[in-house]
Structure 1
Amino acid sequence: MKWLYGVATLLVALWLIIAVRASGTSTGAVFPTVEAVQVLATESGVPNAVTGLILRNRLYDTVFEVVVFSTAILGAKYLLADEQPTASVAQFSDIPSIVLARVGATISALIAVELAIRGHLTPGGGFAAGVAGGTAIGLIAITASSTWMEEIYAQWRAAMWEKLSVVAFIAVAILFLAGWQLPTGELGALISGGWIPILNILVATKVALGSWAAILIFIRYRGLL
C-alpha cells in the first residue's frame, strides 16, 4: 500500500503544479510579498506582522485558541480528580542541577516578560511569552517541593488571575472586533498598536498561569515529569 500512497501524493503534487500554471498565477502571487507584509504592519500599527495577523486579522481564531487552552486545563483537572495523588515526588537533589535549573528559570522568566511587553515590536508575542513563563515554572518545579509550589499558587491566587485574564482577553477582543479602536501610535514605539500589546500581555498571563496549573496537576497525580 505504501507505493499507492506515494503515487497518489505524486499525482496530487503534479495536479497542483498544472493548476497553478493553467491559471496563470505566478509564484509571487501565491506567496505573500514584501508589500503585503508592509501593508499588514502599517494597518495593524506594529512592526511584527505575525502578531498583527494573529491579534487583528485572525482575532476570532486567537480567541478560540485561548478558549481551547482553558478547556484543556479544565479537562486535565476533571479527568485526574478521582485518582489518588502520588505518595512521594522525587526532586533533583544535586546542587549543580538545582543551580542550573534555577538560573534557567530566571532567564526564561525574563524572556517571558520581554516577549510579552515587546512582542508587538520584535519576534515574540503572548503565546511565546506564556510558553517561556511556563518553562520557568517547570524548571522551578523539578527543584522545589510540590507542596511549596501549591502553597505559592494558592497564596498568589493564580487560579483567579488565570480566569480573569481569559475574561479580560475575551472582553478586549469583543471591543476590538466591535470597532472600538485605540490609537495605534507611532510605528515601532513601545506604546503602539492599539489593543495588540494589551492582548499580548493577557495571553501571556493566561498561558503561563495555565501551564503552572497543568504542571501542578500532573506532578500531584503522575509525579515529576
Structure 2
Amino acid sequence: MKWVYVLAGIALFVKMLVMPDPVSEPLETSIAQLVAQDSGVPNAVSGIIFRNRLYDTIFEVVVFTIAILGAKYLLANEKPSCTIYQFTDEPSIVLARLGAIIAALVGIELAIRGHLSPGGGFSAGVAGGTAIGLVAITSSSEWMQNIYQRWRAATWEKLSVLLFIVLSVITLCGVELPHGELGALISGGLLPLFNILVAIKVALGSWAVILVFIRYRGLL
C-alpha cells in the first residue's frame, strides 16, 4: 500500500512539472479596490464584513449574544464563590490599570476609525472587554457590579444588538446612506455606525460575562 502512495506522489510531482497551472491574466483592479469602491471605505475588511457578507455578520452578533445568555444560564444555579482572586500588590495594580487605559483608548480609536484603517467593531469590542477585565482584577467585584447596574449596561447592550439588526435589515433591503468622500471620517454610509454598535455590544457583553465568572468562579 505504501508503494501506491509513493507512485501517486511521484505522478503528482511529474504532473506539476510537465503540466503547470496556467497563470490567469492579472486584473486591472484588485479585489480590495473593488470592495473599497463599492463600500466607500478604504478598509476592505470592514466593507466585506458589514456589506458584502452582512447577512453572516448578523448571525455572528446573535451567536455572541446567545453565548452570553448561555453563560448566565449555566452558572445561575451554582453557589457564588466565597473567594475572589485579584491582584493585591501595588505594582501589578498600577500596570493593570495603565493597560486598561491604553486598551480603552485603542478600543475607542478602532470603533471610530475602524472603517478607515485596520480594525473595526469586533476588535474594538475585544479591546474594550480587555480594559474592563484588567479593571475587574484590580477592583472590588461589588463596585464593578454597581457600576454595571448604575449605567444600565445590560440595557445598552440589548439596544445595540436590536439597532444593529434593524439597520442591517434596512441595508440588506437595498437602502444605503451616501458614501461620502472616500477616506473621510464620516463616509461609507452606515459602516461607521455598524462598527460602533458592534464595539458596544462586544465590550458590554464581555463585561457581563466577566461579572458572572467573578461571582461564581472567583476568577476570570
Structure 1-normalised TM-score?
0.87
Aligned residue pairs total 211
State the alpha-carbon separation in 1 of the partners of residues 52 and 34 from structure 2: 12
Residue matched to 2:23: 26
Residue matched to 2:201: 206
1:66 matched to 2:61: yes
Residue matched to 1:98: 93
Residue matched to 2:33: 38
Which has the larger Rg? 2
State the alpha-carbon separation in 1 of the partners of residues 184 and 41 from structure 2: 8
Residue matched to 1:125: 120
Q: Unpaired segments of 5 or more residues in structure 1? A: none
State the alpha-carbon separation in 2 of the partners of residues 41 and 157 from structure 1: 37
| Per-residue deviation, residues 162-188 of structure 1 (Å, max 9, x unmatched) | 000000000010111111110100000
Residue matched to 1:165: 160
**1:33 Cα offset (Å):** 8.8
State the alpha-carbon separation in 1 of the partners of residues 157 and 23 from structure 2: 47
Paired amino acid for 2:148: Y
Root mean square deviation of aligned Cα: 2.3
State the alpha-carbon separation in 1 of the partners of residues 40 and 62 from structure 2: 26
Report % sequence identity: 64
1:83 matched to 2:63: no
Structure 2-normalised TM-score?
0.89
Q: Which SS does the other structure have where 2:125 is aligned?
A: helix
Paired amino acid for 2:87: F
2:191 aligned to which of 188, 196, 217: 196
Quickly say closer, same or farther: Cα 1:80–1:35, change in 2 above 3 A. same
Q: Unpaired segments of 5 or more residues in structure 2? A: none
State the alpha-carbon separation in 1 of the partners of residues 28 and 95 from structure 2: 43
Quickly say closer, same or farther: Cα 1:81–1:35, change in 2 above 3 A. same
Paired amino acid for 1:109: A
**1:27 Cα offset (Å):** 6.6
